[in-house]
Structure 1
Amino acid sequence: MSSVRKALESLYKGTCTVKAWESVKDPVTKISTQKEVLKFENQPCKLSHEKQVSATNTVGPAVLSQTTKLFIAPELEIPAGSKITVSQNGKTTEFSRSGEPAVYTDHQEIMLELFKGYA
């Protein structure tokens, strides 16, 4: 493990569980049904939040939005549309993956949205 990766992972303060909605074949009936499948559990990670305020020309309050990014090990292949449950700083939140991950040598970054249900 590189020293850069060790330094990055020392910042990981959370853990996450990744689940995906997949077709699963019953071994007895041979019938396939859609089920939630566990991909990874208790993976060290870090959530980063960035709040953005955009002023508009209309009457009313400024619009506030938040960008949430997950930092995690680069070798984990997290399928599109996965449900990612992150526990960090005493809070557990469910997210869905939005967009492709930015994979680097020592980590990957995945933009997240609050989970509202499988697509």
Structure 2
Amino acid sequence: MNAVRNAIETLYKGICTVQIWMEVEDPVTHVSSFQEVPLLTKQKCRLSFEKQMTTTNTVGPAVIAQTTKLFIAPELDIPAGSKITVTQEGRTLDFARSGEPAIYSNHQEILLEPFKRYA
């Protein structure tokens, strides 16, 4: 690993698990059902939160947008629609991958949205 990647990874304060929704066959009954299946576990990462300073003009109260970004190793393949559970600074949050990752030589950045359900 190179010095730049080591420096970036010293900023990783979180641990994440990536799960996918897939069909799994019970080995005893041979009945298939959809379940959450871990794809990646205990991966070092970092969440970054950015609040958008502009508000939306609405009839009700002002709405402030927030962008959440995951920083993680570049070689990991996290499919769209995955459930990503991140524990950082004592909080555990569930997200879904949104959009294509920006992959660099030393890390990748993935925009996240709050997890509601599998697509």
TM-score (norm 1): 0.89
User: In the alignment, what sits opposite 2:89?
Assistant: 89
> 1:56 and 1:66, CA in 2 relative to 1: closer, same or farther beyond 3 A?
closer
User: In the alignment, what sits opposite 2:23?
Assistant: 23
User: In the alignment, what sits opposite 1:39?
Assistant: 39
Letter in 2 for 1:36: E
TM-score (norm 2): 0.89
User: In the alignment, what sits opposite 1:72?
Assistant: 72
Matches within 5 A, 1:44-59: 44-56=44-56
Q: Any gaps of 5 or more consecutive residues in structure 1?
A: none
Instruction: Tell which deviates more after alignment, 52-61 or 19-28.
Output: 52-61
Question: Percentage identity across aligned positions?
Answer: 65
> 1:2 and 1:33, CA in 2 relative to 1: closer, same or farther beyond 3 A?
same
For each residue in 1:33-52, what CA deviation from the matched residue of structure 2 results, as whole angstroms up to 9, or x when unmatched? 32111011111000000001
Question: Cα RMSD (Å) of the superposition?
Answer: 1.8
Given that residues 48 and 68 in structure 2 are in contact (C-alpha distance below 8 angstroms), is that contact kept between their aligned partners in structure 1?
yes
Superposed displacement of residue 16, structure 1: 0.5
Distance 1:77 1:29 in 2: 32
Distance 2:79 2:105 in 1: 19
Letter in 2 for 1:48: S
2:100 aligned counterpart, secondary structure: coil
Q: Any gaps of 5 or more consecutive residues in structure 2?
A: none
For each residue in 1:47-97, what CA deviation from the matched residue of structure 2 results, as whole angstroms up to 9, or x when unmatched? 000001324555654320110000000111111111111000111111111
